[in-house]
Amino acid sequence: MKQILLIGAGKSTAVLIRYLSEKSLEENFKIIVADKELAAAEKAIQNHQNCSAVQFDIFKPEALEKHIASAAIVISMLPARFHIKIAKACLKLKKNLVTASYISAEMKALNAEVKKAGLIFMNEVGVDPGIDHMSAMQVIDRIRDDGGKMIMFESFCGGLIAPESDTNLWNYKFTWNPRNVVVAGQGGVAEFIQEGKYKYIPYHRLFRRTEFLDIENYGRFEAYANRNSLDYREAYGLDDVLTLYRGTIRRVGFSRAWNMFVQLGMTDDSFKMQNSENMTYREFVNSFLPYSPTDSVELKLRHNLKIDQDDIIWEKLLDLDLFNPKKTIGIKDATPAQALQKILEEQWKLSSEDKDMLVMYHKFGYELDGDKKQIDATMVCIGKNQTETAMAKTVGLTVGIATIKILKKEITTPGVHLPISREVYKPILKELQQNGIIFKEKQTNYLGYNAIGGVSN
């Protein structure tokens, strides 16, 4: 019986393990779920058929290679920085590999060796990245097959809270890695093309340069720019496109409020705060404000950020219990970002019955027979509960389907890949559709770049 080795038993694996378990009987394979903590692996398999749990540390080469050697294919659901260690072991032992993470420079450097070995290292095959690539390339290829020329591509994705579980003023709860939310946009500048002009948004302006998106039955959203929209220009074959923009979706008003944290410095992850383990929430806020012998922390913050007392942003800050003089950060040598994350996790945690929501929106502008046209494609996925989230479903199913297709030799092209070829995206999108992950398309007149500020140069 063939074995699939799944390394990492985190939040996104619940749906993946269930999917593989359901497929295991008809395809005759076994799933080995490995984690550094045996209890985490045992909890993840939940007595699913043909699943077993093992414990090992990837930093112990003998144990790592022993388990990889017994597998027909390996899935790494570890944090992205650990994939390269798994990849090198898979290359040594001639095993295919699947991850949901962005292709790192180190992973890309293995491409020639992976090809030579006849192996497939499939990366970026989750939701974002993953479903975004595949759903985009499906439409782009169709436009080109019909003789059209791409002139604009915009792509947006966001992990949000479903309307029925939306119970706070931020219209947001953590549905994936909280740290990634807190430090989003840092370490670079957002770069994109607008009507043939290169545009740049530095971090301190990122959350005040947003655009609106309307999705039928779900209302209005906003989006801020991802760090570098140009990364996929070559991969998508969009070298001559006039507009290329990728962004992150939030509910309207989130970005303006989040910008308050950015302006204060609370999202900074570059330095450690003194006595952070004993620091109260109120002291944390006060540490970013000027000294005053008379003014309260609340008054100083409102004056410093020019927030009126009846402004909804003030209500949002109060909603987070930021000024509590009794609750403590409780993290030694915490950075401001880590301290803020601690506060937010307490307020934005999914309850057991909460449902999350994954939203994706693509805009394709193209020219065909002298006319400019546009296709808007939207996808909304609602989770079931705290465990079977929309995030876990879209990531887990995509990883699982790709793994089975490679295992059955339905995907055969060797190399270090992201899922943009027809060989990969056609069968995966077809099965995702059968599982309710469906894009709705609408044909419109080409509107050009329609972000806030219009189409001016």
Q: How many CB atoms neighbour CB 208 within 10 A?
A: 14
What pLDDT, on a 0 to 100 scale, did the predictor assign at position 134? 98
94 plus 238 within the same structural domain: no
Tens-place pLDDT, residues 22-57: 999 888 999 999 999 999 999 999 989 899 999 999
63 plus 186 within the same structural domain: no
186 plus 100 within the same structural domain: no
What domain range is 21 assigned to?
Answer: 2-122
226: left (phi over 0), alpha (psi -120 to 50) or beta: beta
What pLDDT, on a 0 to 100 scale, did the predictor assign at position 403? 98
CA angle in degrees (0–180, nearest 5) for 356-177-438: 40
80 plus 195 within the same structural domain: no
Burial of 175 per CB tally in 10 Å (0-12, 13-18, 19+): buried
**CA 42 – CA 35 distance, rounded (Å):** 9
Question: What are the tokens at 380?
Answer: 């909304």
292-316 per-residue burial string, b: 16 or more CB within 10 A, e: under 16: eeeeebbebbbeebebeeeeebbeb
The 3 state secondary structure assigned to the chain is: CEEEEEECCCHHHHHHHHHHHHHHHHHCEEEEEEECCHHHHHHHHCCCCCEEEEECCCCCHHHHHHHHHCCCEEEECCCHHHHHHHHHHHHHHCCEEEECCCCCHHHHCCHHHHHHCCCEEECCCEECCEHHHHHHHHHHHHHHHCCCEEEEEEEEEEEEECHHHCCCCCCCCCCCCHHHHHCCCCCCCEEEEECCEEEEECHHHHHHCEEEEEECCCEEEEEEECCEHHHHCCCCCCCCCCEEEEEEEEECCHHHHHHHHHHHCCCCCCCCCCCCCCCEHHHHHHCCCCCCCCCCHHHHHHHHHCCCCCCHHHHHHHHCCCCCCCCECCCCCCCHHHHHHHHHHHHCCCCCCCCEEEEEEEEEEEEECCEEEEEEEEEEEECCCCCCCHHHHHHHHHHHHHHHHHHCCCCCCCEEECCCCHHHHHHHHHHHHHCCCCCEEEEEECCCCCCCCCCCC
Tens-place pLDDT, residues 75-117: 999 999 999 999 999 999 999 999 999 999 999 999 999 999 9
| pTM score above 0.75 | yes
Tens-place pLDDT, residues 434-443: 999 999 999 9
| Residue 422 covered by a domain | no
Pairing of strands 210-215, 219-225: antiparallel
What pLDDT, on a 0 to 100 scale, did the predictor assign at position 449? 56
Q: Tally the domains of the chain.
A: 2
100 plus 170 within the same structural domain: no
| Residue 103 covered by a domain | yes
Residue range 341-369: mean pLDDT, rounded: 95
Q: Output 352 or 243, whichever has higher pLDDT.
A: 243
Candidates 50, 43, 37; CA nearest to 3 is 50
**pLDDT higher than 90, residue 325:** yes
45 plus 139 within the same structural domain: no
Task: Decide: 244 and 235 in contact? Cβ < 8 Å.
Answer: no
| Residue 398 covered by a domain | no
> Measured in Å, how far apart are the chain's first and last C-alpha atoms?
61
Residue range 131-135: mean pLDDT, rounded: 98
Radius of gyration, CA atoms only, the chain: 23
| Residue 194 covered by a domain | yes
- The tally of CA atoms less than 13 A away on the side-chain side of residue 391 is 21
Residue range 392-413: mean pLDDT, rounded: 97
Burial of 121 per CB tally in 10 Å (0-12, 13-18, 19+): buried
**pLDDT higher than 60, residue 162:** yes
108 plus 153 within the same structural domain: no
Residue range 345-358: mean pLDDT, rounded: 94
Tens-place pLDDT, residues 225-241: 998 899 889 999 999 99
Task: Decide: 46 and 19 in contact? Cβ < 8 Å.
Answer: no
363 plus 227 within the same structural domain: yes
Which of the four pLDDT bands, split at 50, 70 and 90, describes residue 291?
A: very high
Q: How many CB atoms neighbour CB 229 within 10 A?
A: 22
What pLDDT, on a 0 to 100 scale, did the predictor assign at position 450? 54
Last residue of a domain, one of 122, 139, 173: 122
Which of the four pLDDT bands, split at 50, 70 and 90, describes residue 456?
A: very low
**pLDDT higher than 90, residue 156:** yes
Mean pLDDT over each residue of the chain, to the nearest integer: 94
Quick one: how far is CA 388 from the chain centroid? 16
**pLDDT higher than 90, residue 261:** yes
Residue range 145-159: mean pLDDT, rounded: 97
Tens-place pLDDT, residues 296-309: 999 999 999 999 98
223 plus 371 within the same structural domain: yes
pLDDT exceeding 90 applies to what percent of the chain? 90
149 plus 74 within the same structural domain: no
CATH of the domain at 383: 3.30.360.10
Which of the four pLDDT bands, split at 50, 70 and 90, describes residue 290?
A: very high
CATH of the domain at 101: 3.40.50.720
Last residue of a domain, one of 85, 104, 122: 122
Last residue of a domain, one of 122, 139, 154: 122
Tokens 């906003």 locate to 222
